[in-house]
Structure 1
């Protein structure tokens, strides 16, 4: 009998979800991703000395490239990344376009806070 093996990824590894880190490189280094894998987004809640972050799932490649949040869906607000973070399970074999939506997309545009992954079929063990 085969079982489905899923992997849990901390987005950004020890850098977590932060301004100025290249998440496209992170995604390339951690590929391949599979259906049922879990992404864990961790970031500090907003304070007087930290920038708030959030996580949006962009609607399509065009929105992702332009960091256009108009049709994006928030999957993690500015406080959900605190502590042990929040989990996003990759449930479909389709491109997933992630971006930080703070500062009207500036974190996405100039802060490299975006990445795309397309999960493969579930990994069988």
Structure 2
């Protein structure tokens, strides 16, 4: 085979291999609650169910107004397990976004690991979680090949 033909054949073969390789899905950014943002009285468990699946390295954006005379303050906690989540028990929870961090473009949380993430609002001693439906759980999947 002449050198020009060999180079052309090699290039064609490389392009064919690259075109047939599956691509990895890019991480998505999702605003928690969509246009409703992070607020009292919205069903976030339902939102998570309807907006899944979630994948490792997806970013969740929590948007909420900083405290003022017309809005309730909000925060974002990670609860340690399903028992804490069901009871809205904040005793061993980790604060990941305080009352002011949800303002503007919001607070971003990246789902770095494949594990259960139990999110809740910790305001009013857990009342926003238990009565206000401000809680949800996600378990990201491995990024898929498409």
Distance 1:77 1:59 in 2: 18
Q: Does 1:86 align with 2:107?
A: yes
Paired position in structure 2 for 1:35: 56
Larger Rg: 2
Q: Which has the higher contact order (CA 8 A, sep 6+)?
A: 1
| Counterparts of residues 68-79 of structure 1 (less than 5 Å) | 68-79=89-100
RMSD over aligned Cα atoms: 1.0
Q: Does 1:66 align with 2:87?
A: yes
The offset of 1:4, in angstroms, is 4.4
* Alignment check: 8 A CA contact 2:24 2:143 kept: no
Paired position in structure 1 for 2:138: 117
* Alignment check: 8 A CA contact 1:6 1:123 kept: no
Structure 2 gaps of 5+ residues are 1-20
The offset of 1:3, in angstroms, is 3.8
Q: Does 1:7 align with 2:28?
A: yes
- TM-score, with length taken from structure 2: 0.83
* Alignment check: 8 A CA contact 1:34 1:119 kept: yes
Distance 1:88 1:124 in 2: 23
* CA deviation map 1:64-112 (0-9, x unaligned): 0000001000110000000000100001111100000000000001000
More helix by share: 2
Q: How many residues align?
A: 125
- TM-score, with length taken from structure 1: 0.96
The offset of 1:48, in angstroms, is 1.1
Distance 1:16 1:4 in 2: 25
Deviating beyond 6 angstroms after TM superposition, the runs of 4 or more aligned structure 1 residues are: none
